[in-house]
Amino acid sequence: MSFRDNTVVVLETGRDLIYAGQGLHELLKTPAVYAQARVGLRTPHSSSPAVNEYLVGKELEEALAAGQDGIQISYPFADGVIGDWTQAEALWKHVLFKQLGLRRLQMESPVILSIFPGLSRDSYERICKIFFERFNVAAFTLIERPISQLYAANAIAGVVVDIGNNATDVTPIYDALPLHAGRVTTSIGLRDCELYLAHLLRANPSVMRTISPPEAPLDEDAIQNTLLELVHMLWEQDHIRPPSHGEQAVAQEDEGITDIGAIVAAGREKAVIESGMRKKATAKQTAAEQARQREIEALDLITVTFRGKEVTLGKERHRFCEPLFDMDLVDHARPANAPPPKQPHIPLQEAVNHAIAQGVIDQRQYMWRGLFVTGDITRHVPGIGAGLRSRCLPYIVREEVVTDVQPRSINVLHIPEYYPEYRDTSDSYAAYLGSSITAKIIFHDPQAKNFVSKSDYATYGPRVILESSTALL
């Protein structure tokens, strides 16, 4: 049994966000819809609320924007497990039937669910049961997110570093199989970067005068929330570069020969045009104007509009990613009354080294050659992988040890340029792209055994997912 491209649904579920789309086109597209992986419940409520009682997506956002009181917010996937099955079902139901517009009674769509690794076999069975009995899907399969993310980078061996809001998952993979014994979750993420930069901006008098003027000062909580909002705007508008740890990108001078084909293939037409315009403008400047321009560029100042005011910032904004590599900065920036983290504090470079070290010794060099950093942050702050690579080099450079199995290099992976729809998204949609590639292969094979059909489920029940899912091969 095979399915048409336009019916296949890709449902990618992470700790913080859910991405989804229907249809596998010739040029694999980015997700059509997304939802924050959170639900709201108005209090008071029964001890066991039903799926339909939860506020999800736009309904929840409108309720919060209206300032409605008594809404309890929950994040069922935040801990890397399914913390509440009713909430998880409410989220998936919302994405499938409200955002994608599918109809349960006329459901003809097979679904591939990309989900975080490490779930129990009982959890796989329960997920399978929900999708067949509650959503009436035509076929179903599961794939673990690190596997799909690595597939998107055209690799089957490596280590996937998935940066989330409050935690980062590091998964070593060899021969398309995750090494679960080596999986590491560290309690650092995007939120720590935001807190740290907000802490640094407090030392900028210009910023503080703008957001909390002496004639109308804000209280401490309002200042912190305002700074966090400013920081969020900065990284979301691509004003931040990651620390390179001594590695600097070398600008290539124009040698007078332009490879138009290469530029179009890389999707860099706009950047090349803008570069040419800047060179022409600079050529017309006087020597004094050019010197002033170089001085401004050295200061790396930007002025942004925030809440109707002009805010000028300098190089401190590029220190945004430092907490990912230094635990002292994380502890320094977190509020004193913050709850203790549920996962250990480990810098990303140590987490990667530990994860790979759990593999067989002759496999490690292949995993080091596939360092793949992903997560929503990479869409707006590209280059984190290069910064992580430079910090990992000391773990493999040992001149006193020279063997055939000694790692000699670390390669940073990216989504290939031949996926045009993904050129401007960095590596943030890797799990969705990898799931789409997998779905295109398995749902087109009439003899496929890597998904559960409706007849399989009717015959064998939810346990059949343990034998048919790509996640458990």
CA angle 397, 403, 409 (to 5 degrees): 40
- Per the listing, tokens 């109707």 go with 308
Cβ neighbours, 10 Å, residue 418: 10
Return all residues near 189 (Cβ < 8 A) that are at least 6 apart.
163, 164, 165, 166, 167, 168
Residue of 153, 163, 445, 195 whose CA lies nearest to 319: 195
In order of start, what are the domains of the chain with their CATH numbers? 5-151+427-472 (3.30.420.40)
Question: With the C-alpha atoms ordered 357, 362, 368, 372, is the resulting torsion angle positive or negative?
Answer: negative
Token readout for 219 is 């209280």
Per-residue pLDDT of the chain (473 residues; tens, 9 = 90+): 668 888 999 999 999 999 999 998 888 999 999 999 999 998 776 678 889 889 999 999 999 988 888 899 999 999 999 999 999 999 999 999 999 999 999 899 999 999 999 899 999 999 999 999 999 999 999 999 999 999 999 999 999 999 999 999 999 999 999 999 999 999 999 999 999 999 999 999 999 999 999 998 999 999 999 999 999 999 999 999 876 654 433 333 333 444 554 445 445 556 556 666 666 666 666 776 666 666 556 667 889 999 999 999 988 999 999 999 998 888 878 887 777 777 788 999 999 999 999 999 889 999 999 999 999 999 999 889 999 999 999 998 765 666 777 788 899 999 999 999 998 888 999 999 999 999 999 888 767 678 999 999 999 999 999 987 655 65
Distances (CA, A) of 247 to 25, 196, 320: 39, 22, 17
| Three-class SS state of 158 | strand
Query: What is this structure's pTM?
Result: 0.86
Distances (CA, A) of 318 to 235, 315, 346, 384: 10, 6, 21, 12
Q: What share of the chain is helix, strand, coil (3-state, %, to 5)?
A: 45, 15, 40
Q: What is the DSSP letter of 325?
A: T
Distance between first and last Cα of the chain: 20
CA angle 380, 232, 224 (to 5 degrees): 155
| Three-class SS state of 451 | coil
Residue of 469, 441, 362 whose CA lies nearest to 125: 469
Measured N-to-C along each axis, helices 190-201 and 220-236 cross at an angle, to the nearest 10 degrees, of: 120
| Three-class SS state of 56 | strand
Q: Give the C-alpha separation, 90 to 93, whole Å.
A: 5
